[in-house]
């Protein structure tokens, strides 16, 4: 196998798994704290990759996007089960549970920055340090990308759940009906709209990225 390919794979595997798994565990953990024990009883409040990996969303899709040099890198794990009806305040708490995923990614980005400082202080110069730094850099960029991407106001993404939580009940119910078309809408704005020069995802991420980046840069 080409050494460059090995480098790429080994510097992305850990960040991808950690970013996606922590995102999902955060949803389940916050849901548990707000009254829904579904994720806990399903054994999903764990960092064990085998309980979260989706062969397509965690391995195949990010792998293809990464190896083809795509400007968009995203993926997903098996969704942590949340029964919104079991939450103490279902409509309000749905938004809190949804926000937990992007917040976990933001905190993880900060954690990667702190790890960068630790590695810089403790590791001697060499290929191993360069490899470790590349993992950290990839972790920071992926954490921020996932946090922002998931805030897109499209169901079933977290941003859609947050919007639904904030809307008045009548409009929230109507908005939730769009979830049946959510995946098609997402595919459309990711891959079809850019063919016509419309980069909705790029605009959204570029708009929010400076704000998130300033938070992370505070720890540099």
> What number of CA atoms fall less than 13 Å from residue 106's CA on the CB side?
21
Between helix 127-149 and helix 90-122 the angle, nearest 10°, is 160
For residues 38 and 31, what is the distance between their CA atoms, to the nearest angstrom? 8
Strand, helix or coil for residue 37: coil
Contact status, residue 113 vs residue 137, Cβ threshold 8 Å: no
For residues 6 and 216, what is the distance between their CA atoms, to the nearest angstrom? 29
24, 127, 130, 179: the active-site residue:
24
Active site residue 179: no
Nearest to 80 by CA among 21, 33, 35: 21
Nearest to 157 by CA among 107, 216, 95, 92: 95
Catalytic residues: 24
């Amino acid at each position: 196998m080409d050494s460059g390919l090995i480098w790429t794979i080994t510097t992305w595997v850990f960040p991808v798994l950690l970013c996606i798994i922590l995102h999902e565990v955060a949803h389940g953990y916050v849901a548990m704290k707000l009254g829904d024990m579904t994720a806990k009883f399903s054994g999903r409040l764990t960092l064990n990759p085998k309980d979260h990996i989706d062969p397509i969303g965690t391995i195949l899709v990010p792998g293809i996007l990464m190896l083809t040099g795509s400007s968009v890198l995203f993926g997903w794990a098996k969704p942590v089960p949340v029964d919104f009806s079991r939450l103490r305040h279902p409509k309000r708490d749905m938004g809190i549970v949804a926000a937990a995923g992007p917040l976990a990614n933001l905190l993880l980005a900060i954690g990667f920055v702190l790890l960068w400082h630790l590695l810089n202080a403790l590791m001697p110069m060499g290929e191993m340090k360069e490899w470790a730094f590349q993992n950290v850099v990839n972790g920071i960029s992926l954490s921020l990308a996932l946090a922002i991407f998931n805030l897109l106001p499209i169901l079933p993404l977290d941003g859609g759940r947050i919007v639904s939580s904030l809307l008045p009940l009548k409009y929230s119910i109507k908005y939730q009906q769009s979830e049946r078309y959510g995946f098609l809408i997402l595919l459309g704005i990711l891959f079809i709209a850019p063919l016509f020069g419309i980069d909705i995802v790029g605009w959204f991420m570029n708009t929010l990225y400076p704000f998130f980046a300033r938070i992370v840069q505070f720890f540099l």
